[in-house]
Structure 1
Amino acid sequence: MTESRAHEKPRILCLHGFRMSAKILETQIHKWPETVLEKVDLVYLDAPYLSAGKSGVEGIFDPPYFEWFQGNQDYTEYENFEECIAFIEDFMVKNGPFDGLLGFSQGAVLAAALPGMQAEGLVLTKVPEIKFLILISGAKLGGSKLSAPPLAANAFSAPIKCPSLHVIGENDLVKPESIALLDSFVDPIIVHHPEGHTIPGLDDQSLEVVSNFIEKIRNHATT
């Protein structure tokens, strides 16, 4: 019984922020109530590269810290972008199947671009189609702040149709990019919160939006 119920839970691969870790993301997501978390199966992955510089969470969370890919100062050039996507795909093949992705910050930038790249047949060709996204402090590759690496040049050329939940902080430094990202999705569901660049707790209103989204993806994942 438990096994069949567990099987019905949407399985979500969670991608942490820049110079953070799977463990840090897991700790932060646990600000969300158990009534939400018990309905999904969350799997956390450390990025493939050890942090190449100071982490913004030093002194708050213990190392090690990791990063998915690197960019020059104005993010017009990237390193290890293709390699990190190959790393994610390999993990998905060995540990999947996964129904959707959750990403925070750099993890959300990656997660947002993956369905469009997958639809083009460029990446994630060995795994099932991504059915939904949860993007916290996201931004768009090829948007106003981040140029698109060649592999992601057309990631947003067509509207992204999979259900998407966007968590946007009122005082988040990437708030303009998170809002601009909404235009790339067919039917984005939005949670606004008063905090900055972080995973917020959920007030009653946000909790209702998140719970409804999870109900929607549970139905989607099991059909």
Structure 2
Amino acid sequence: MPYLELSGFGSVTLIRTFDMRYDLISALVERWRPKTHTFHLPYEECTITLQDVALQLGLPINRNAVTGVSSISRSATLCYDLLRRLPSKGKFTGLRFSWLKANFEHFPSTASEWEAMHAIPTYIMHLIGGVFMLDTNGNKVHLVYLSLLSNSHNIRLYSWGSAMLTMLYREFCRMTDPSAVDIGRCLILLQSWALYQIPFLASICHQSYIFPLVTKW
């Protein structure tokens, strides 16, 4: 936990879980307008803002942009330097969650400080790919994020909240295409935001407010 706090991801480890209401999510996405990036409801327009991200998740929103190259030439070297393990031989672009679970699910209580430092990137990669920027397949996370986790002191210097909201906006816009089927990204944020900002939905869904998603800062 001290290393996660240092990296700026300490609060998101305390996210509360709840049942997803995909009927609610579908209804909201149907009311999304790509030109304005807002939900058009019968009585007003509204949208998820960076302030909502900061309050709900505690992620930084006003720091360096999360960016990188789409293709990493030395993917094996990057993985071994940070994780001390290789998922496969040859070139690869992402880490499968099944591999992360098989290699890092159990963290020994007797682990050294050095081992704890190397466990941080794997935990954050799972948060990024499994919660914040979940793709429609939901089976792996891109290596571009791993390249930003090489230094635990620098991780908190990136605006992870802004990147997550950008990806969520793009996913909403993609879903306006009639041929689109599955939706990804941070849907827990969308549902929690909706139940807080549109209070009557909580009674309809028979669900209490879930705001914020984290239990403490």
TM-score by length of 1: 0.29
Higher helix share: 2
Higher strand share: 1
Kindly name which structure, 1 or 2, has the bigger radius of gyration based on alpha carbons: 2
Higher RCO, 1 vs 2 (CA within 8 Å, ≥6 residues apart): 2
TM-score by length of 2: 0.29
